[in-house]
Structure 1
């Protein structure tokens, strides 16, 4: 068996170049040797408190060095890492800890009260409180139920050797956002994580000495495994910020000469509005991946024209670890709007929605399906969801609708469940959103369907705009009429200060519909 453990990779790196920087966390530099030593001590302390191979260890908190050290310590022991979305409510965290059967919970002070409210109802046997991070100081005297992380790290015990792990060994349980029901635990093996890195390094201009900026949430597969984990294990430097702040992000890109970054479109859009964006030196950037939501073509053009930076669109899900397709930098402007080509070691096809017939013709829409070594085998303790998502041939049915052009490039149209049927015609919100996002002064667009007695459903656009920009319904319809069929044009426009997104940067369409229901502005038809 070939050992593909990220913990083993970090240990090797420390042996070869112990003094090299590995992490920069909130302006504190952690060397490869320090990271390896902390990871080993944490693994030893957790093992002394009963954590064994296959057990689940959860982390509840913001981006931090401790989050990454927890992942590596879990890998060291052959345990399973469970990163928890720090924005979830108590009931949602309760479900994840219970469903995963979490043995050890490591939490930050900011989430201690939430954790305490559910500890009696979950299987956690070892609650550990982070008290070693100056960026999130712990209370002077937390309740006795908590074991301080400093105590775990100072455990006087023999440090165990890192457990070798292979492709089929479970590495992490990452829970879906739950926008369509209870979150499902996606079973990511070490092979899934490793093959994504192989795909990325084959297609993207990534290098061993990269400086990667991690500002997307690390509990999300994009933030963790698009670039961060591969950079850490391959010998680069990961700059970690606890959360995304546009001005701080821009300063970091310049000061650290960042070469690679993953972010969702809303984050890249926010950067363009940060003071000094036009003057900033972003010349070091070369591996700039944008995914997680539809990418407005104008956003890609803005970066290319202002800085010569090519935003490289990719597509995938937690279940694909995360990338199934990627648009090479050289084709960014030629194929603007495309999610790209299949990754080298991943198969992608289109199937008739609800069926198994493969669509070979170009420009015919179908459900995007994926299989390959980066694709997970299923969902934790949820055979029904696994059967619904994976067919007998091993294809994962993504629920995304797309098409392929004559050159084999894929275009994602929308989520199957978000499709609007108006007067018998299919309307894909993402298609309308892409067109309307180019309206002068519009920042973001969300399109939903609402019930209509005549047409079944009708199209509504919710816009966020620059100050002083208040487009009327007729102005919006006139703008879109050249590129959209009449039945796809909105029959109502609602202006909102911001769009509701989950912590992964995805639009929460249910909350967008709530905005439509509760706001009747002067732009309504």
Structure 2
């Protein structure tokens, strides 16, 4: 039997998170949805604050489809700004707070943002970034005890507390469908100019469906948000979903291992997203072995390879780390390793998400790679971006004729269909005619006692074409020779993969998502 709407089933569904937050505010107005050092917010408080900011933005000329940017650390103001933009049908642009003024200016200008909300600690960067950018409205967060305003803001800024207090809450919430733009995130730009990744409300929603299907998430859960929210991994793993499902988000501005452990136990946290470096820091906190982490059901780790020893260590604490793989372009997860497979498939990035397809193809022929054979990882599904912001050339280069997104990551599928990421295609080293994948070498050598971090790069070599170089940092008092490093690695790596040069540095450069800044590492080597 068919109905007049059966052919269009689901097309008119409103998936705007701002609407879901308003519904929760009506059902459970006093439930604390955001716990934050600058002040907690109930659902009613969050909804009203977002409605007031939406009114201020609308009065400042922000309309449907226009871009609203935020510059600052994790905070309740970040979430309020995002929801206010969503209420107007505008696009939220979270900015990387680690960029310089010039870099931020490029992103602001490229996004076409018409409004900017900024924390005081980033005012100088924002002021440098605004040169040549046509902003209609620049609001300074001035009512957060965690970030007090230092000195007079100046005429270029409107402290937002006054307008928020005076505004009548914007009564309407724009209905948003699957194809409507929601978030514009710029890639880290570690190898060049960052590209704007457009994520639709459908991309956000379908990733949430994938997460809810595969992970143990529940209505009313408490999630911990300490990884930077300007990355899609932190924002769309659990935070947005928790907001719309009646839960509580513990927002922390920066990562401190001891404070994070205290949060996990005191607040009976159920889920969190972290990068491996954070978990490594957490693993070293005194008392973690005795801590009650029994409420922690879903810990997703992504952004960089996870050392098997770290997975085993947390398993000993009763916490099964669930590795995932994806990119900003996949909103973020394309694959996920279920908790029950964590130990059996140690080191795997898991299976394709239920509503996402993943395949591995030969980089030369484009044909499907056999199980165990490395190739480029391709993704297709409703969580995949429709393309890059005002960049048809980059979009055309990333998608093939059949609509598959080419990730640029090298990996293989085992006989059971589990994905193992080997490396980035652009980072591959060709030494003596053999392909060497740095991430594979890094995974093995990171197990070396006393080694705290490692990056493997290729350097030009007259004899080999490229030689493999290991750049490492060591624990205090530890010394390491190239011979010792090679002796450790040769038990699991072919000799052509072993480093021919060793550089010891105090620390390796990583970006906010925990990924190695390979350009900066190469500059260290010279």
Residue of 191, 195, 201 corresponding to 1:180: 191
Are 2:456 and 1:447 aligned?
yes
Match of 2:466, SS state, is strand
The verdict on how the C-alpha distance between 1:474 and 1:140 changes in structure 2, with shifts beyond 3 A counting, is closer
Report the counterpart of residue 323 of structure 2 in structure 1. 313
Cα displacement (A) at 1:157: 4.0
Are 2:338 and 1:328 aligned?
yes
Match of 1:28, SS state, is coil
Q: Any residues of structure 2 matched to 1:13-412 within 5 Å, and which?
A: 13-26=24-37, 28-157=39-168, 159-305=170-316, 307-353=317-363, 355-359=365-369, 361-412=370-421
Q: Distance in 2 between matches of 1:156 and 1:269?
A: 45
Q: Distance in 2 between matches of 1:334 and 1:494?
A: 35
Q: Distance in 1 between matches of 2:173 and 2:354?
A: 31
Could you give the per-residue CA deviations for residues 137-179 of structure 1, whole angstroms, max 9, x where no partner exists?
Answer: 1235311121111123124446231010000000010000011
Q: Distance in 1 between matches of 2:249 and 2:467?
A: 46
Residue pair 1:445, 1:462 contacting (<8 A) in 2 also: yes
Cα displacement (A) at 1:358: 2.3
Q: Distance in 1 between matches of 2:106 and 2:128?
A: 13
Could you give the per-residue CA deviations for residues 89-136 of structure 1, whole angstroms, max 9, x where no partner exists?
Answer: 111111111111100000111111221223231121211111121111
Q: Distance in 2 between matches of 1:248 and 1:174?
A: 29
Cα displacement (A) at 1:481: 0.8
Q: Distance in 2 between matches of 1:153 and 1:29?
A: 17
Residue pair 2:48, 2:169 contacting (<8 A) in 1 also: no
Report the counterpart of residue 522 of structure 1 in structure 2. none
Number of residues of Structure 1 aligned to a counterpart in Structure 2: 515
* TM score, norm. by length of structure 2: 0.96
Could you give the per-residue CA deviations for residues 161-214 of structure 1, whole angstroms, max 9, x where no partner exists?
Answer: 101000000001000001121110000000000000000000011111211110
* TM-align CA RMSD: 1.2
Could you give the per-residue CA deviations for residues 423-456 of structure 1, whole angstroms, max 9, x where no partner exists?
Answer: 0000000100110011112222211111111001
Cα displacement (A) at 1:27: 6.8
Cα displacement (A) at 1:274: 2.2
Q: Distance in 2 between matches of 1:65 and 1:462?
A: 38
Cα displacement (A) at 1:38: 0.7
Could you give the per-residue CA deviations for residues 321-359 of structure 1, whole angstroms, max 9, x where no partner exists?
Answer: 000000000000000100000000001001221553222
Cα displacement (A) at 1:46: 1.0
Q: Distance in 2 between matches of 1:364 and 1:6?
A: 41
* TM score, norm. by length of structure 1: 0.96
Q: Distance in 2 between matches of 1:254 and 1:103?
A: 42
Residue of 462, 482, 485 corresponding to 2:491: 482
Q: Any residues of structure 2 matched to 1:422-433 within 5 Å, and which?
A: 422-433=431-442
Are 2:470 and 1:461 aligned?
yes
Q: Distance in 2 between matches of 1:159 and 1:200?
A: 32
Q: Which consecutive segments of 4 or more residues in structure 1 shift more than 3 A? A: 155-158
Are 2:408 and 1:437 aligned?
no
Gaps of 5+ in 1: 518-525
Q: Distance in 1 between matches of 2:403 and 2:146?
A: 44
Q: Distance in 2 between matches of 1:469 and 1:439?
A: 11
